[in-house]
Chain A
Amino acid sequence: MNAWWKKVARCLKRKKSSDCPRGRRGIIQRKGKGKGRGRWAVLVTRGTRREVKNYDDRSASCHLAVDCRTKEAINLKDISSTSQCSGMRAYKGACGYKGIIIAHHEYMVSDRLVPALVHHLEEMRRILRFHGVLLPFQLSLWCVGQRAGTPQVRTTPPTPHPPRRLRWIAMALALVLLLGLLLAHGATAFYAEHLQLSPLPANSVLASFSFQTNGSISCSHYDLLPRPLAQVLQHTQTKELHLSFLAGRWDDQKWGALPDSGHRTGGNGVELWAVLEAPAERLSEKRWLELNQALSGLFCASLNTLDMKRTIRPIFSFQPEGAYRGVNESSLHVFHGALPRETVCTENLTPFLKLLPCKGRAGISALLDGRRIFDAQFQSMSITVLPTTEAGGVSVTQQIDVVIDVSRTLRKRASDNGIIKPRPGEEMACDEAKGYHNGDTCFPVENRENLGWSLEEIFGKSVPGRCPFAREHAGRGDVSYVVNKKVDLEPQPLDWKESSGRQIARYSLEDTTPFTLLSPQHPPSVAGPPTPPPILASRSLTHHTPSRAGMHLTLHNPSPSSPLRISYLESLPWFLKPYMHTFHTSIPGVIEEMYFLPAKNRERGTHLEILVTIPAGSTVEVDWEFEKYILRYIEYPSDANRGFDIAPAVITVLPTDTMTNDTPYQMRTTSLLLTMPTPDFSMPYNVIILTSTVLALAFGSIFNLLVRRFVLVKDIKAAAAGAGVKKPRVSVLKRIFGKLKRKKE
């Protein structure tokens, strides 16, 4: 036992109170020189002096020594990284030092957290036991709050006992502190979910599921916050995360502006942008790659392939959105990456649901069945993590937007095996105005009326009841239905509210009563016209040749009166080299600013960002040409003939002076498919075969010429008869060497 341990022992035996190692809060002490891989010692005692003293006899065995390498295995991370959060006090330490933490009565928790803490402690004890460490002491909890009656806080002061009056003051102070912490905790942890159903023109319905969880990641107790995600964020120092999965195309001419100003909708495939905190650039890149690896495991997607070749650091288009307090701005790094080829399917939805407190078993998340979601015309899943104003506080918003084709879904449901058969002629609605219309020639017309539907019909089931963790959202209700004119809904909503010209029906869910909603058949004016998008944009590839091609971009400002200022972000793969001298706009002078970072072969892609002002009611066309770099044999994917996907461009409508309060609208173009000069991959094989053949032929004949001598058969016969050959048997080689020799001589 070293000197320090002796000191602790003396302190515990109350032999010499001045020897007690003291920390800021009670008896805490760190031992060692601070750095290096040390050993841990944790002592959790029951809280009264007497018990502490009792331990003393076994103090040699009751401190548990855990090698840092097994730290993760025994789950001490939870203790070590905890500082002060959600009403629980624990002590901070890191694996880097030797130390002892004596926590007496130190878990002061709110009533709600008690079960979690008991579980946590028991788990710790179990794990320790598994590792052969037996704790010869009891873990006990002292609870305050409703269950324990009057809140009581008893601090066990380090020796010597303070005078009685001081104790009362200390108690009162502690009580105030505790209540404050409890209140703070109450304000932090929060979960709400909401489903908004908005019928769209042309027989579609947009269902927007949103799940919001607030909590703190500096806390080791994840009661509502998804722990797997929070740990990843904590490990990689990610302050802000925007991850989206998208399949299908948002038809903005038919459906109007994107929901939520396009902020939760990424580009086709997977898109990720994040704000990471790191003191140095290189470290931030390392953390970004770690984040991608971790998210790839979490969401069953190939996010690990999002390396620096596909990553850019956006300048104008993406800015940190959360609340940053006391964070040095220069230590924040914004990264953006996209995987347009990535598919989105059930394996991505499964982890998405697992992050929710009700995990798809109760509440509106029960409607999220992959077979319905991925049968939609458009589906977008996104996860947004933003820091909040509280210390360590984050808000996690999970959002799913699906546009369901009602008529298709109903027809599918009506068919016996889920496969839609063509409609019989007599059931078709024909356009009788057409000149050729008669009994057997029909020009089909779209159904003028929007069909009626129920939640059960479009999602295959009804909501089984409220998610018990969800807090009721006073303003919105649990489910809302948004249309232009009131319709007769079944069941009757709580009320109808008007908001910016739209009628909103609100519903709230009961704990266990299933909920379904019947939307009646209604004329198209009820659903439309939709909110027009502030910008229309499209991007396409032009004049293909094997080595060169061009890009054509159309940006249209539909507003007849006000100009539009946008930022346009293009992130191109490294093998696509834009020729900036060909960059041309149809209206000169609209480009305000341009940021261009050229690609480096096999290291980084091209990063192009421009600020454009589009005059009112006009269209700006932008063209540029680029070269396709020839790839190496192994750089082609296994289906190279399909083409290479180019990530969607991001267009952000920047706020002008008149509309500073609105969230900037953001949209993406579709991804592009670029055909690259692709070799015939059997060619190397053919080349090898051919060269080998040629070589073999050439070598064979030359070799024969050199080492063989051709003689007449009759000479051989003569030789056999004993006459001997006229010339000695010398090969061509020998003859040549012979001649050379003779010359030398």
Chain B
Amino acid sequence: MYGLRYWIRCVWVSLCVLSVCLADGQDEGRAEEFLSKGGHTNNWAVLVSTSRFWFNYRHMANTLGMYRTVKRLGIPDSQIILMLADDIACNPRNVLPASIFNSASRSLDLYGPSIEVDYRGYEVTVENFIRLLTGRHEEGVPKSKRLGSDERSNVLVYMTGHGGDEFLKFQDSEEISAWDLADAFAQMWEKKRYHELLFMTDTCQANTLYTHFYSPNILATGSSAIGESSYSHHADADIGVAVIDRYTYYNLEFLEKVERGGRETLGELFEGYTWERIHSTAGVRTEGFARNVDKVRITDFFGGDVGVEVGVPEGFNAGEGGGEIRVNESEVPSRWTSVTKLNVGKPVLFQPGDEQGVLDTPKWAAAMRRGRKSIALLH
């Protein structure tokens, strides 16, 4: 009745189903192992101040405080998208032109000598923000205005402005809703535009903004619960307005102590969110986030250094001439036994006769035996 082709097709389909089931089982184990580590290879930050007008100076200062921190901890300007809804630094009202301070002590000029603002003024709109996140730009939009993250990127999204129950105002004329954000992040996940995402927001009723998130690997935190306002911390009498909000102030106070490559965790940061300091109920949403926040380092989101351990096979000798070893991402073995900690992309230089460590991956060793010195590079 049925031809040979039919039976072949049947066998083929059942084999496929079987292989998918098997793969699932394997993946789970791998995923678990993978998730216990950071697993990201690059960091991006989207920092948004959504408020226009001089009296919202503090929102600009909040955002620039974050900008300074991520830059200090190693995210380059090309991977920071900074959106400032109004010109505060060169505003005629600013008694200290081209400077913005987030403390009355004025010890730190946040505007600095080399700032790059990617979206400013009227360009800070809900549309542009969602386009940025989802990567749906018009033709010809320059690279500096695009979020070039991938499935190995940890993305920090920091937003500040005036908000309410499930919305955040942009420019005093439009709003982004909690559902807009949730859908944008979901699209990002589907398009492999993040590995993990930290959503941080400082606005009134901020915690309502993350209530609808439904995509995985998002850690969210906000400054105040539903029905609560977020307050400013203090004002500078010479500038004449409040210069920073409480939630951001205490975040920055903690972050200032973190060094490049520091081991502080987000859990420690969240512990500092008390009513006495913030005057509102700061919230943390870990639902859907696979890792324990007590093990997530601050630098996983606020830093740009990816600590890479590079090992060399047992008995490897760089030879008489010395040489250069670079490790390919696909060849990073699961188990390291040594050696040198490096910044991303920098090659390890070996002096003649150097022997740097022990590594027992057969694939690696075999390659080395074949005389391969250069193993390509790690992102």
Mark out the residues of chain A between 367 and 383 whose CB falls within 8 Å of any chain B CB in the assembled complex: 369-371, 373-375
Using CB atoms, name the residue of chain A closest to B239. A419
Kindly state the separation between the CA atoms of A418 and B236 in the bound complex, as whole angstroms. 14
Do A371 and B173 touch (CB < 8 A)? no
**Which residues of the other chain, B, contact A637 by a CB distance below 8 angstroms?**
122
**A residues 644-699 touching B (CB-CB < 8 Å):** 681
> Does B90 contact A130, Cβ atoms closer than 8 Å?
no
Q: Which of B135-143, B193-201, B210-218 contacts A (4 or more CB under 8 A)?
A: B135-143
Given the contacts A345-B90, A371-B98, A638-B52, A302 and B116 also touching, CB distance less than 8 Å: no
- One digit per residue, 1 when the CB lies within 8 angstroms of any chain B CB and 0 when it does not, for chain A 281-305 equals 0000000011001101110111011
Residue A344 at the B interface, CB < 8 A?
yes
Cβ contact within 8 Å between B115 and A374: no
B91 closest partner in A (C-beta): A343
Complex interface bits, B135-177 against A, C-beta within 8 A gives 1, otherwise 0: 0000011111100000000000000000000000011111000
**Segment of A5-13, A154-162, A212-220, A346-354 engaged in the interface with chain B:** A346-354
Judging by beta carbons under 8 Å apart, are B90 and A638 in contact?
no
User: Which B residues lie at the A interface, using CB under 8 A?
Assistant: 52-53, 87, 89-91, 95-99, 106, 109, 111-118, 120-123, 140-145, 170-174, 238, 374, 376-377
| Minimum Cβ distance to chain A for residue B367 (Å) | 13
Is B97's CB under 8 angstroms from A347's CB?
A: no
The residues of A that contact B140 with a CB separation of less than 8 Å are 289-290, 293-294
A122 to B38, CA, bound (A): 33
Task: A418 to B107: give the CA distance in the assembly, Å.
Answer: 12
Report the Cα distance A294→B145, complex, angstroms. Answer: 10
Contact present for B90 and A374 (CB under 8 Å): yes
Q: Which of B90, B106, B114, B376 contacts A247 (CB 8 A)?
A: B90
Whether B116 contacts A297 by the Cβ 8 Å rule is no
Residues of A within 8 A of B172 (CB): 638-639
Bound Cα distance A375, B374 (Å): 53
Say yes or no: A419 contacts B238, CB within 8 Å.
yes
**Told that A293-B142, A350-B114 touch, could you supply 9 new A-B pairs with CB distance under 8 A?**
A293-B141, A294-B140, A294-B142, A297-B144, A343-B87, A343-B121, A346-B90, A346-B112, A638-B122
Q: How far is the CA of A345 from the CA of B376 in the complex (A)?
A: 42
The answer to whether B238 and A417 have CB atoms under 8 Å apart is: yes
Contacts of B90 in A (CB 8 A): 247, 343-346, 374
| A681 pairs with B173, CB closer than 8 A | yes
Q: How far apart sit A370 and B109, CA to CA, in the bound complex (Å)?
A: 12
A473 interface residue per 8 A CB criterion: no
B98 touches A373 (CB 8 A): yes
Residue among A301, A346, A417 making CB contact with B115, cutoff 8 Å: A346
Is A129 in the interface zone, CB < 8 Å from B? yes
- Shortest distance in angstroms between B48's beta carbon and chain A's nearest beta carbon? 15
Complex CA distance for A305 and B141, rounded to whole angstroms? 11
Does A342 sit within 8 A of B, measured CB to CB?
Answer: yes
Using A297-B143, A300-B118, A374-B97 as known contacts, say yes or no to A346 and B106 having CB atoms under 8 A apart. Answer: no
Chain B residues closer than 8 Å to A301, beta-carbon distance: 120
Per the 8 Å Cβ criterion, residues 319-347 of A in contact with B are 341-347
Cα of A289 to Cα of B376 in the assembled complex, Å = 40
| CB atoms of A419 and B87 under 8 A apart | no
Q: Are the CB atoms of B142 and A296 closer together than 8 Å? A: yes
Taking a contact as CB atoms closer than 8 A, the residue among B52, B96, B123, B376 that contacts A419 in the complex is B96
Chain B residues closer than 8 Å to A375, beta-carbon distance:
97-98
Q: Which residues of B contact A639 (CB under 8 A)?
A: 52-53, 171-172
26 examples of A-B residue contacts, CB within 8 angstroms:
A129-B376, A293-B142, A298-B142, A300-B116, A300-B117, A300-B120, A305-B123, A342-B121, A343-B87, A345-B89, A345-B98, A346-B90, A346-B115, A347-B116, A350-B115, A371-B97, A374-B90, A374-B98, A375-B98, A418-B96, A419-B95, A419-B238, A638-B173, A638-B174, A639-B52, A681-B173
Q: Are B111 and A346 in contact (CB under 8 A)?
A: yes
Chain B residues, CB < 8 A from A419: 95-96, 238
Complex contact A417–B52 (CB within 8 A) = no
Q: Enumerate chain A residues within 8 angstroms of B376, measured Cβ to Cβ.
A: 129-130, 132
Tell me the bound Cα distance from A296 to B106 in angstroms: 31
Give the chain B neighbours of A347 by CB distance below 8 A: 115-117, 120
Q: Tell me the nearest residue of chain A to B87, going by C-beta.
A: A343
In the assembled complex, the CB of A374 is this many whole angstroms from the nearest CB of chain B, namely 4
A370 near B111: Cβ-Cβ < 8 Å: yes
Nearest-neighbor residue (CB-CB) of B84 within chain A = A347
Point out the residues of chain B lying under 8 angstroms from A129, CB to CB.
374, 376-377
A304 to B120, CA, bound (A): 12
**A337 CB, nearest partner CB in chain B, Å:** 16
What is the minimal beta-carbon distance from B264 to any residue of chain A, in angstroms? Answer: 31
Cβ-defined partner of A305 (8 Å) among B52, B87, B112, B122 = B122
Smallest Cβ-Cβ distance to A353: which chain B residue: B114
Q: Which residues of A contact B116 (CB under 8 A)?
A: 300, 347, 350-351
> What are the 6 tightest A-B residue pairs by CB atom distance, in nearest-first order?
A297-B142, A638-B171, A343-B87, A345-B90, A638-B173, A293-B140
Residues of A within 8 A of B53 (CB): 639
